[in-house]
Amino acid sequence: MAPKPLALDIGKDAPGPLFLAIAGAITRDIVRGRLKPGARLPGTRALAREIGVHRNTVDAAYQELTTQGWLYAEPARGTFVAEDLPDSMAEPVSVSVPPRPSAVRPALAFSDGAPDPNLVPDKALARAFRRALLSPAFRTGADYGDARGTSVLRHALSSYLALDRGVVADPARLLITRGSQMAL
């Protein structure tokens, strides 16, 4: 069954990127209850046609909401409102974009690769950390484990070395590292 048109209240004249305005409109509809958990959203092409924007803009909005936990995507099925919405369906994360200065001579700014701190979703990040720290999986697996690497991996590596390379290696004497620096 095809999803119904969304008729989003975007406010295209709002400051900041258009994909964030679309993401905000979808999130507001989820919070208001207009979009229920499990509801299928229109495809990116259909929604882009409906609201008169480029498909990549809608795709960026869907990606943003998926990252924040409001949506999830299933390959070959579509994009859906998440069943497990962010903590108590709090207000959507808003990203403040500083106004552009109206200078006569624009200055060139060379980024050193650091992200814009105004774009960090503080509240969503705090909720995600809190949820992870309170999860039972964290409490049971919070130890560091064996410094040599997991036992299962060391045994599998030992078997591989013996069968394919002819090297007999005791799993207890193997050390798994994440690269040359860690190995040194």
pLDDT reading at 1 higher than 80:
no
pLDDT reading at 35 higher than 70:
yes
Four-residue CA torsion sign, 147, 133, 80, 47:
negative
The whole-number pLDDT of residue 71 equals 93
Dig out the tokens for 27 from the structure.
């999130």
| Average pLDDT value for the chain | 81
Stretch 111-134: mean pLDDT: 81
Q: Which helix (H) or strand (E) holds 159?
A: helix 151-160
Question: Is 1-85 CATH 1.10.760.10?
Answer: no
**Contact partners, residue 116, CB within 8 Å, separation at least 6:** none
Selected residue with higher pLDDT from 14 and 81? 81
Q: Which residue has the tokens 């299933």?
A: 74
Dig out the tokens for 72 from the structure.
């999830």
Q: Which residues pair with 79 in a beta bridge?
A: 41, 73
Task: Using alpha carbons, select from 76, 75, 97 the residue that is nearest to residue 24.
Answer: 97
Stretch 93-102: mean pLDDT: 52
Ordered by start, the domain boundaries in the chain are 1-85, 151-183
